[in-house]
Amino acid sequence: MDYKELMKSAQEARKFSYTPYSHFKVGAALLTKSGKVYTGCNIENAAYTPTNCAERTAIFKAVSESETEFEAIAIVGGRDGETSPLCAPCGVCRQVIAEFCDSDFKIILGTEENYSVHTLSSILPYSFGKKDL
């Protein structure tokens, strides 16, 4: 699967975002090394802190089905009815990505038409992880 198709899957996953509080809708599509795609959306909560980001929804879906080796994640987000030119993952999601992914794991940001490819090490330098324990 190419990155444009992965962005399309992320955009489609946005449709299921549950965002009655922020009205900011995010979709993610996670590509495993075995070639499967797990999608996710953000799911908010009236108590706010239980909110789960789209990226973590996708990663937790995959891990819960025994997939732990990942190649890339595409992320598309923006206010309801709009798509941001670049919606970067939050710090918590970067840390969760770092739990499972190598430094050259690819993070694809932007829109289906105009996206850029980043690496985990470029968006999370000096990371803390299992190597430090």
| 39 in contact with ligand THU (CB under 6 A) | no
- CA-nearest of 102, 40, 22, 41 to 68 is 102
Of 95 and 121, CB closest to ligand THU = 95
Among 89, 96, 101, 110, binds ligand THU (CB under 6 A): 89
Among 11, 39, 42, 83, binds ligand THU (CB under 6 A): 42
Strands 70-79 and 115-119: unpaired
d(CA 25, CA 33): 27
Provide, rounded to whole angstroms, the least separation between the CB of residue 107 and ligand THU: 10
d(CA 14, CA 36): 19
Provide, rounded to whole angstroms, the least separation between the CB of residue 133 and ligand THU: 25
Q: Is 39:29 a contact under the CB 8 Å cutoff?
A: yes
Q: Is 14:87 a contact under the CB 8 Å cutoff?
A: no
Q: Using CB under 6 A as the criterion, what x/- string covers residues 4-33 for binding ligand THU?
A: ---------------x--x-x-x-------
Catalytic positions are 55
Q: Where are the alpha helices (DSSP H) in 33-114?
A: 54-63, 91-100
Provide, rounded to whole angstroms, the least separation between the CB of residue 68 and ligand THU: 21
> Is residue 87 helix, strand or coil?
coil
Provide, rounded to whole angstroms, the least separation between the CB of residue 93 and ligand THU: 5
Positions that interact with ligand THU (CB under 6 A): 19, 22, 24, 26, 42, 44, 51, 53-55, 89-90, 93
